[in-house]
Amino acid sequence: MLEYKRDGWKAAICLAPSLLLMCIFTFWPIINSFIMAFLNNYYFALNRSDIYNSLMDVDKSFAYFMGGRFTGIGIQNFITLFRDKDFLIALKNTAFIVFVSVPVTVIIALLIAVALNSIKGLRGFFQTVFFLPYVTNTIALGLVFNSLFHVDYGLINKLFNMVGTSWINSGATWGRAMFVLFLYSVWDGLAFKIIVFLSGLQNIDKQYYQAAQIDATPRWRVFTRITVPLLSPMILYITITSFMGAFKVYSSVIGIFGTGRYGPVGNYKLLITIVGYVYDQFDVSGMPFGVGSAGSMVLFGIILLITLIQMQASKRWVHY
């Protein structure tokens, strides 16, 4: 043990570069945005007069922090945030993706993985097919969905003889647009989950299934009473990471609707998400950074809460 202790400084040197980068690009921004969320009317404009003011402390009506000025500390940003209709829409859209599309994706992925695991021939082929979306770029995949559901020449409309029905083009309803986003999220999320479940399934001892077979266990019961419990650590892992990922949903919306839009022409905030909302705050000139930071704090809080609930629930349902 002592020998290892003496090597502590070597480990520190090896870790230093990545730690330094993490400090710059991860830890400091987290701390910084946490602080900014609680600064009222924070205005970030690093120019000469601001630096001068901050050094000389001339204007007593402002306080200064990191090259920006603010009027006080409080929860004004959060009030602004929750009064903003766009943010409430973003919350609703994100919640739908998280609580509807993630569970559906996990269940479908599980069923496909079990099916894949039980076939013998062509398994490699199907594994490749289902893994393809994972190596495909999110935006490219979004473009595919975009053209699939195009109002005039989309394959779906042509196939089902519904040309003129707008899914993602001008005039689309929330339900239709969300349906496309939902399908897209499921398709995009399947690949990785299937691979993880497949590897999990292959680690389950075949003898459990033989024992079940000898006891004449019906297939469905084998799935619910043996496969799912034995796979539960994997299911928990996938569910937690997918929930986190889904809370941060952003690029898929952009992928479907195109640059800078969260909805069809004429209603470009139809499917805005929390991350999209936060991102927009930094884009709007003259808007304080504080609201964006507050938005990310809210997102952080929600993810933390949901994850804690999942961890608690897992104590009852997950068998290691």
- Give contact residues for other proteins (rule: CB under 8 A): 205, 207-208, 210-218, 221, 225-226, 229-230, 232, 319
Rounded to a whole number of angstroms, the minimum distance from the CB of residue 308 to other proteins is 23
Rounded to a whole number of angstroms, the minimum distance from the CB of residue 118 to other proteins is 16
β-pair partners for 40: 72
Within 10 angstroms of residue 158's Cβ, the number of other Cβ atoms is 12
Closer CB to other proteins, 205 or 283, in the complex: 205
CA 52 to centroid of chain Cα atoms: 41
Rounded to a whole number of angstroms, the minimum distance from the CB of residue 218 to other proteins is 7
Rounded to a whole number of angstroms, the minimum distance from the CB of residue 208 to other proteins is 6
- CB-CB contact of 295 with 81 (8 Å): yes
Rounded to a whole number of angstroms, the minimum distance from the CB of residue 227 to other proteins is 11
Handedness of CA 91, 95, 96, 101 (dihedral sign): positive
Handedness of CA 276, 178, 90, 32 (dihedral sign): negative
Helices (H) and strands (E) in the chain, counts: 17, 5
- CB-CB contact of 191 with 131 (8 Å): yes
Strands 63-65 and 68-70: antiparallel
CA–CA distance, 81 with 98 (Å, rounded to integer): 21
Show the tokens assigned to 118: 């039980």
CA 57 to centroid of chain Cα atoms: 42
Rounded alpha-carbon distances, angstroms, from residue 261 to 23, 273, 275: 32, 11, 13
Rounded to a whole number of angstroms, the minimum distance from the CB of residue 320 to other proteins is 9
Rounded to a whole number of angstroms, the minimum distance from the CB of residue 214 to other proteins is 5
CA–CA distance, 229 with 209 (Å, rounded to integer): 13
Residue 39, helix vs strand vs coil = strand
Q: What is the DSSP string of 55-96?
A: HHT--TT-EEETTEEESEESSHHHHHHHH-HHHHHHHHHHHH
Closer CB to other proteins, 1 or 214, in the complex: 214
Residue 114, helix vs strand vs coil = helix
Rounded to a whole number of angstroms, the minimum distance from the CB of residue 319 to other proteins is 4
